[in-house]
Structure 1
Amino acid sequence: MKEEKLKHSKRITLGAAAIAASAALVLSGCSSSGSSSTPDASSSGGALTPVKLQLQWFTQAQFSGYYAALDQGYFKDEGLDVTIVEGGTDIVPQTQLADGAVDYAVAWVPKALASREQGAGITDVAQVFQKSGTLQVSMADKNIKTAADLKGKVVGNWGYGNEFEMFAGITKAGLDPATDVQLVQQNFDESGLLDGSIDAAQAETYNEYAQILETVNPATGKLYQPSDLNVIDWNTEGTAMLQDAIWANTDKLKNDPAYQDTTVKFLTAALKGWIYARDNPDKASAIVVAAGSQLGASHQLWMTNEINKLIWPSPDGIGVVNADSWAQTVDVAMNAKNLEGSTVITKEPDADAYDNTYVNKALDALKSEGVDVTGSSYQPITVTLTEGGK
């Protein structure tokens, strides 16, 4: 399955030269809490261990927990000198990891499983997102509320492996994707929905859905409101697939005690960063903006809030792979076919595909500090979007 940019915003469209330059940028251990990209003495008196984390897209609040962990000095507290490597249009995070260019990578589960089937030695060591953020969005007057309502409609998707939840949902509703709906590949924005050429468009709760709500409705002269829209949520339809997870090198997990130890430390700090983002969404959003995001402040706060909804509450503890959610992801990945008849994977992943050992050790460390790792009382904030997400 071809990898493509996963978070598509028309406000971060860059020229080819700018993309090439931006993709090469990294953010390293300089932070407001005094950490440095140059290894120095850790709290235990030793040199900091250098670690590279590969993101799957450019700097934005989809990754706010990692930037918060860097900014707050959590990685340094664990004896790590972490460099956050931005993604780009031509960067496949799990390939970077498998090739040894980085130590850990953030990637969607189905895409990483496809890479594993093709030989990438990678393991999901922390399932940060507990739910999918993918929607099909339509204008309310289209009366499209479930997958069954897509019959006879023009339905957009990005393709590049992002379409399988939708294909599974359409099929589950008793429709034939090839004949009962008119499928079109949409741009990496919501222009087709807004100009009326697409009845139901693919969007992420934390990004493209907000783009619509940041746009002026010509009928009212005001920004679009949620009441102007209907959404199909693949979590509700039962065909959702797990998204952002932290992946590690499988061979090193088996054979390298130092890497095993670093993995626990890395997860301890990273998850603490996500907990910070949960408890301080405004500050976490501001950290991302300061880190150089191309998106506006209100959009980033919206994204931070919506990402938190995909994580919290985490009854088993943040990062633990839920067996049922994993099984559903694998089932959709093996059985949902796109128009070319392809599935994401062709066989059940082996036992090394995920491992909760390291995240459980990290959670034990956090709980010993009195940190709330489940967020059982989590409540989202209310975010007011502005035109263009500024």
Structure 2
Amino acid sequence: MSTAAERSAREAAGALVIRTAPRPLTAPSHRTGGATHRGPFLEWQAVTTRSFDQDACPGALSVHQAADGALARVRLPGGVISGAALTALAQAATRFGAPDLELTSRGNLQIRGMTDTGAVADAVGDAGLLPSPTHERVRNIVASPLSGRSGGLADLRQVIGDLDAAIRREPVLAESSGRFWFGLDDGRGDISGLGTDVGVHALDGEQAALLLAGRDTGVRLSLDDAVRTLIDVAVRFVAVRGNAWRVGELAAPQDLLAGLPVTAEPGATWPPVIRPPVGWLTQNDGRITLGAGVRLGVLPARTAEFVGAVEAPVVITPWRSLLICDLDEGVADVALRVLAPMGLIFDENSPWLDVSACTGSPGCARSAADVRADAAAAVDATAEGHRHFVGCERGCGSPPDGQVLIAGPDGYRPRDRPS
């Protein structure tokens, strides 16, 4: 922020903001990375079923025609975006769509209600967020958001960039599903529990476990070999997938390993993490990351521009929150005092962190209710665990744990979770 902006912010900020340290992150054991065992991987044949085949997963160029207009999704590998690029997207949303940015459960951003899809695509490209038109929908990478800054066993920031570049270099992957995603867990166990199609889980600063559908395959590899191995598995998936979108839809996912040596006990899984890192987070280098919850994952464009004005790296997390990173303490203090009154959540005990929702009506024609309004109305209601409100059986954006509430003519009913 400029000096003038800081001065204005200090004069304007009157709200009391709760500063909280993150919950302690327990380093997983070197053998299983904090995992639990639920049976051998090679015996697992859980096949996901669905009632539709068309992969209409949108991108910045291949938009989706929703009930409220065209929708574009901008892929952010690892959730990483610069302040300048965030500002550019916010301005595009204001000029050519609904004046909000939607945060997705894969750490991406969406613009809804677009009136000029070409102008939005140009803005995305000009911001440096569209490096490959042919591969734009398949750059689906989630990674431990605080990796290299606080906690974890390995710094995976370079791996994110290397994997993204490798995806774009492989022509075969342009034919992959737009829903296939890669996971990079730095050992703290925040990403492996999300059940990404293929991923690595760091066991220390040099070694990692290879995962398929969130399950340890027993394959061990050097982090230096992680990108090559992940790309090889993804290419094999394209070769055998048929109309499958996800590894979990394959009858024999172990075939994707193609002779990779199994040197450890397979089958371990990790418990899902559904609450984001929120508050005043001290980095390993002494600087500050601000973790901010975003109500129902909808970030007003004006607020996004203020975040961008901090001129710091931003990470969009898979929990529909954001991190503003690498801040000196004074800048962090000013940013927090400005952004909290604008609605960003810096209190890790906020009930807003326990509620999420799909788009619902009127944005989605399938929805039976305005689920965001209903979720907001239910924020202060007593409930145990996380609640995700959805407008139909598809359950878009459902987290891997907690209660999914499906709208119907008689109100909401809970969805049964698979055992």
TM range (shorter): under 0.3
- Select the structure that is richer in helix: 1
TM-score of the pair, normalised by structure 2: 0.26
